[in-house]
Amino acid sequence: MWQLCIVLALSWRIHAIDVEHLSASNFELSLQRGFAAVLFHDKSSASTELFDAWESAAGMIESLHDDALMGAVDGTDPGLKEFIDAYAIVLPSIRVFRRSVIGEYRGPSRGDSAKEIAEYIQADALVSTPSRQPDSILLASFLPFSLLSFHTALGQDFGGQSRAATGSTREGPHAQGGGHL
């Protein structure tokens, strides 16, 4: 029984991410993610070498955040020819998309190890990790309006005088002609 446990423990592997194969039908939708590193390739030997390293790198990455992907595009897909031509994408090459905005990939590629590519992709994807602002920042953005409403409700202008004391019937920060924001 214990031998079976050892065999299972040695053969168990954390599932790595997969390279998503993008085509004309799913390309635009895939790029709307927070981070997409995409390899554009053709049938050349340089493309084949880079594609193999790209898939090996994906196999080394245990996970990326939910809004990230590693993809590959067959640059000979006629449905993507217009996109590839418009952005002057040379095959093979890698581009990074952050919320559909194309950018240069500055990481390792041809001649570099899959491990270096995997490490770079993991680090670069972290830059695009979705973040949530603290509630206090959200509250602070409404603070000036809240103070303005509070002072108006009390019948005071920004100089601290009440409208009744000055005889003004105007409301808001310009009630006395001053108090410019």
122 and 137 both lie in a single domain: no
Instruction: Specify the pTM.
Output: 0.64
What is the separation, in whole angstroms, between the first and last Cα of the chain?
Answer: 77
The domain in which residue 20 lies consists of 14-127
* Predicted confidence (pLDDT) per residue in 115-155, tens digit: 999 999 999 998 765 553 333 333 333 334 333 343 344 45
Average pLDDT over residues 164-175: 49
Q: What is the dihedral of CA 135, 126, 59, 16, to 10 degrees?
A: -10
115 and 176 both lie in a single domain: no
93 and 34 both lie in a single domain: yes
90 and 139 both lie in a single domain: no
Residue 78, CA distances (Å) to 19, 67, 68, 82, 91 in order: 21, 27, 26, 8, 14
Q: How confident is the model at residue 15 (pLDDT cuts 50, 70, 90)?
A: low
Residue 166 corresponds to which amino acid? T
36 and 108 both lie in a single domain: yes
Residue 77 corresponds to which amino acid? D
Q: What is the secondary structure of 90-154 as a DSSP string?
A: PSSEEEEEETTEEEE--S--TTS-HHHHHHHHHHHHHHT------HHHHHHHHHHHHHHHHHHHH
Q: What is the secondary structure of 4-58 as a DSSP string?
A: HHHHHHHH--PPPP--EEE-TTTHHHHHTSSEEEEEEE-SSHHHHHHHHHHHHHH
Q: What is the dihedral of CA 164, 165, 169, 171, to 10 degrees?
A: -90
**Residue 2: inside a domain:** no
Q: What is the dihedral of CA 167, 172, 175, 177, to 10 degrees?
A: 160
pLDDT at 152: 40
Asked if 124 and 96 touch (Cβ cutoff 8 Å), the reply is yes
**Residue 180: inside a domain:** yes
37 and 90 both lie in a single domain: yes
Q: Is the pLDDT of residue 50 over 60?
A: yes
Q: Which of 20-24, 92-96, 113-117, 171-175 has the lowest mean pLDDT?
A: 171-175
Q: Is the pLDDT of residue 8 over 50?
A: no
